[in-house]
């Protein structure tokens, strides 16, 4: 059986590749109305500003005249003015005014990048046109959500490695001692999205298993909704209350993961609903903290060069195959490969 080394892979765990898609930029609360901030996002220097009417905009950072950083400039309406010579760009990046000229030169424009706000975060898409929506929690699709923006973190490994941890069934037994509750299946939803779900019921032949069966009509709830190979939502909890956590990761310049946690739940009305959600989101934070304590030391010292796969690694292999096929962005710190051949490791593993 072949080793799955970095030399075999063109996208997965590569610090010089950025998959095209939506990535978190900052919490929405950190960008006030009529404010501008610099943003270095996966090899691209941007200015992120909020217009006077509250809409977030992402443009290339430097003025087309002498290269001043626009984050030092002034927001006027939907436009931003360069701090050096007051060249003004609109929210699509087009130059619309030069103070020393009666009319701005035609055809001068900055790169303009799609922006959306969801789950308390500002998201930027790494291509000129967004080909798919921002990540969602499947259970809350079309439902109003409540959320709490949690902590940020940095892990000393690639986002692909961070996300693969949550589908590594072996480690749930060796690290967290709950492997007997999990048997994962997966589905490739589209080019950027993959879903994993537990199919195992709590066991009947143990006291804790019989206790857990009181809270689950079907399998123990543990499902994951992965996007771009770099982020995902995790859903778990008893039938009467599911906890949803978003792990948003982006690639750092040194091959690390820059992450943001968001706790998410269904919106509930009234004072009692508000209080219920605060308690629910707090409990979700405790659950995240429990798993993080066991996993973080491994992230910080891992040499992520996967070798000697076994059949219990089938989810990991499928995830790696999916990432290898994903469309790459021109962002990042490396040259795009000439081709992205898909891995054929699942068949070899089955053999």
Could you tell me the residue range of the domain that residue 183 belongs to? 138-330+341-345
How far, in whole angstroms, is CA 287 from its chain's centroid?
19
- Same domain for 192 and 287, yes or no, is yes
Tell me, yes or no, whether 190 lies in a domain.
Answer: yes
Tell me, yes or no, whether 127 lies in a domain.
Answer: no
- Same domain for 107 and 238, yes or no, is no
Q: Which of 73, 94, 112 is the last residue of a domain?
A: 112
Structural contact between residues 4 and 308, judged by C-beta atoms closer than 8 angstroms: no
**pLDDT mean over 232-250:** 94
- Residues facing residue 193 across a β-bridge: 190, 227
Tell me, yes or no, whether 318 lies in a domain.
Answer: yes
Average pLDDT, the chain: 88
> Nearest to residue 169, comparing CAs of 210, 220, 230, 244?
220
Tell me, yes or no, whether 176 lies in a domain.
Answer: yes
**CATH number of the domain encompassing residue 106:** 2.102.10.10
Whether residue 244 is predicted with pLDDT greater than 70 in this model: the reply is: yes
- Same domain for 291 and 178, yes or no, is yes
> Nearest to residue 146, comparing CAs of 116, 117, 118?
118
Instruction: Provide CB contacts within 8 A for 67, sequence distance 6+.
Output: none
pLDDT digits (tens, 9 = 90+) for 99-121: 988 888 899 999 999 999 999 99
- Same domain for 72 and 150, yes or no, is no
- Same domain for 219 and 290, yes or no, is yes
Q: Max alpha carbon distance in the chain (Å)?
A: 83
Tell me, yes or no, whether 198 lies in a domain.
Answer: yes
**pLDDT mean over 41-52:** 96
Q: Which of 95, 112, 129 is the last residue of a domain?
A: 112
- Same domain for 155 and 214, yes or no, is yes
Q: In what order do the strands lie in the sheet with 257-266?
A: 145-155, 257-266, 243-251, 231-236, 222-227, 193-198, 184-190
pLDDT digits (tens, 9 = 90+) for 321-337: 999 999 999 998 876 76
- Same domain for 147 and 92, yes or no, is no
For position 350, what pLDDT does the model report? 44
Tell me, yes or no, whether 132 lies in a domain.
Answer: no
Single pTM value for the model: 0.89
Tell me, yes or no, whether 47 lies in a domain.
Answer: yes
Instruction: Provide CB contacts within 8 A for 233, sequence distance 6+.
Output: 135, 136, 137, 138, 224, 225, 244, 245, 246, 247, 264
**CATH number of the domain encompassing residue 241:** 3.90.380
Q: Three-state DSSP class for 231?
A: strand
Tell me, yes or no, whether 160 lies in a domain.
Answer: yes
> Nearest to residue 95, comparing CAs of 127, 63, 124?
63
- Same domain for 98 and 239, yes or no, is no
Give the chain's domain count.
2
Structural contact between residues 216 and 345, judged by C-beta atoms closer than 8 angstroms: no
For position 326, what pLDDT does the model report? 95
Q: Three-state DSSP class for 99?
A: coil
């Amino acid at each position: 059986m072949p080793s799955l080394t970095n030399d075999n892979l063109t996208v997965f765990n590569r610090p010089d590749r950025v998959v095209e898609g939506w990535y978190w930029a900052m919490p929405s609360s950190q960008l006030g109305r009529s404010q501008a901030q610099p943003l270095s996002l996966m090899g691209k220097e941007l200015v992120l500003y909020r217009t006077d009417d509250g809409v977030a905009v992402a443009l290339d950072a430097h003025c087309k005249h002498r290269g001043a950083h626009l984050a030092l400039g002034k927001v006027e309406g939907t436009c931003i003015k360069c701090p050096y010579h007051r060249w003004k760009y609109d929210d699509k990046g087009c130059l619309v005014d030069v103070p020393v000229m009666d009319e701005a030169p035609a055809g001068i424009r900055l790169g303009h990048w799609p922006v959306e706000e969801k789950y308390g975060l500002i998201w930027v898409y790494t291509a000129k046109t967004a080909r798919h929506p921002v990540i969602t929690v499947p259970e809350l699709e079309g439902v109003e959500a409540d959320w709490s923006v949690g902590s940020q973190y940095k892990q000393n490994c690639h986002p692909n490695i961070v996300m693969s941890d949550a589908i590594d069934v072996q480690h749930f037994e060796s690290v967290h001692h709950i492997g007997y509750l999990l048997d994962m299946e997966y589905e490739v939803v589209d080019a950027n999205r993959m879903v994993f779900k537990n199919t195992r019921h709590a066991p009947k032949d143990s006291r804790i298993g019989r206790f857990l069966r009181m809270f689950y009509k079907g399998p123990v709830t543990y499902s994951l909704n992965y996007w771009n190979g770099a982020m995902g939502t995790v859903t778990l909890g008893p039938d009467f209350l599911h906890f949803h956590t978003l792990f948003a990761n982006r690639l750092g310049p040194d091959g690390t993961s820059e992450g943001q946690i968001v706790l998410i739940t269904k919106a509930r009305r009234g004072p009692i609903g508000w209080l219920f959600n605060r308690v629910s989101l707090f409990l979700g934070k405790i659950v995240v903290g429990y798993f993080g304590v066991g996993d973080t030391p491994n992230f910080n010292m891992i040499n992520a060069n996967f070798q000697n796969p076994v059949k219990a690694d089938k989810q990991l292999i499928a995830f790696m195959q999916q990432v290898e096929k994903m469309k790459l962005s021109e962002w990042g710190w490396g040259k795009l490969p000439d081709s992205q051949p898909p891995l054929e490791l699942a068949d070899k593993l089955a053999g």
